[in-house]
Amino acid sequence: MSGLHERHLAVSPDWLALYYRQPLELTHGEGRHVWDAEGNRYLDFFGGILTTMTAHALPEVTKAVAEQAGRLIHSSTLYLNRPMVELAERVAALSGIPDARVFFTTSGTEANDAALLLATTYRGSNQILAMRNSYHGRSFSAVSVTGNKAWSTTSLSPLQTLYVHGAVRSRGPYAELNDERFVKACVADLEDLLGHTRGAAALIAEPVQGVGGFTAPPDGLYAAFREVLDRHGILWISDEVQTGWGRTGDHFWGWQAHASSGPPDILTFAKGIGNGMSIGGVVARADVMNCLDANSISTFGGSPVTMAAGLANLSYLLEHDLQGNARRVGGLLIERLRAVGAASEAVREVRGRGLMIGIELVRPGTDEADPDAAAAVLEAAREGGLLIGKGGGHNTSVLRIAPPLSLTVEEAEEGAAILGEALRAAG
């Protein structure tokens, strides 16, 4: 055990998990690569949990941060803040929400917490609909709408949460149905559930579940849900913390795969927009955002430095069509990974879109999740020079692959080859 690891254990909570038997200290990065304290170089296919969205040490972002830090680091929302207004204008325009208002936070957890506050206040109800296998953050309210037991750290809750089926396509009671019948069955489940409620405030849903193992429903499910929700006056919160900014390749936002219903009432975002800086936020139409009738500010949300980073990062992403790159290179990567998966009896499914890909592992010959195999592949991939993540609703048996959106074809090929070797080594 390293000296830093010992020091970490001495001052950190027991529940603050570290990856790997011998945890890594990352010291610097460039592009799609990072280096550890021993000088080892790794191809990064996880990006600090989908947060290093464009590239490590992107010059445009580091320059913007340094220049803003040299002028003013902090002011709070009590003062006019030009970078915050400029980024809010761009996010509002990109959101698709009419008459949009934007509130910045410091994390996705805080963004979802704020969205829940808005929805429950607007509707005068503390009842929330959420998806099974979901994850929305670590705060008291966000945990209470998280449908993944591995991350539901308490059963106490400020909200009454009811869980809806449909976010996991290949498991559960409707898995054998075709897409059309799957959607109809899930809508019928929602209709039945609402017959036993007193007026829910909102449905919160990730278009692609992140921590849950990159699972997604058929395109159009949330549009079908929206028709039901609208009849009941229930708001739709789209949690875009992991799916936003073009990561799925096909769309800029995850909700756009269900676009026949139009944009959500509330959209939450975080992670990639700051490329490592602490930015989260909520977008909502004006009547929803303005429903609070008490004072509220943010000390650190919308900080001049993080906003400068977000502006530079968003400009780079749009000017270099990283959404298109995610679609093209992600399509190649998923093809390669499906070929790798076909050669392994431990791989149940390779799924995803763009640069958001999951590999679900099971015990060979069964449908039983195999978290030990996932842990072994994680270690073997590191030995091969590749960093990946893991998650899933069935005991963290899904390998999570989400490189920076500037990933090259050569790096995609290299990463797929390393993963193939890791699967063979772990098997």
Tell me which architecture the domain covering 62-319 has in CATH.
3-Layer(aba) Sandwich (3.40)
Tokens of 48: 């600090």
Chain centroid offset of residue 279 CA: 13
Q: How far apart are CA 219 and CA 257, in angstroms?
A: 5
- State mean pLDDT over 313-336: 98
Q: How far apart are CA 91 and CA 267, in angstroms?
A: 11
394 falls in which pLDDT band (50, 70, 90)? low
List the chain domain ranges. 3-57+321-426, 62-319
- Model pLDDT, residue 259: 83
Q: How many residues are given for the chain?
A: 427
Tokens of 120: 């429950």
387 falls in which pLDDT band (50, 70, 90)? very high
SS3 27: strand
Question: What are the tens digits of pLDDT across the range 75-100?
Answer: 999 999 999 999 999 999 999 999 99
Radius of gyration of the chain (CA): 21
CATH class label, 3-57+321-426 = alpha beta
Q: How many CB atoms lie within 10 A of CB 196?
A: 7
Residue 118: φ, ψ to 5°? -60, -50
Question: What are the tens digits of pLDDT across the range 245-281?
Answer: 999 999 999 999 998 879 999 999 999 999 999 999 9
Kindly list the strands in the beta sheet with 398-401, ordered across the sheet, starting from the edge strand earlier in the chain: 347-353, 356-361, 398-401, 389-391
Biggest CA pair distance of the chain:
62
SS3 23: coil
Tokens of 305: 């430095």
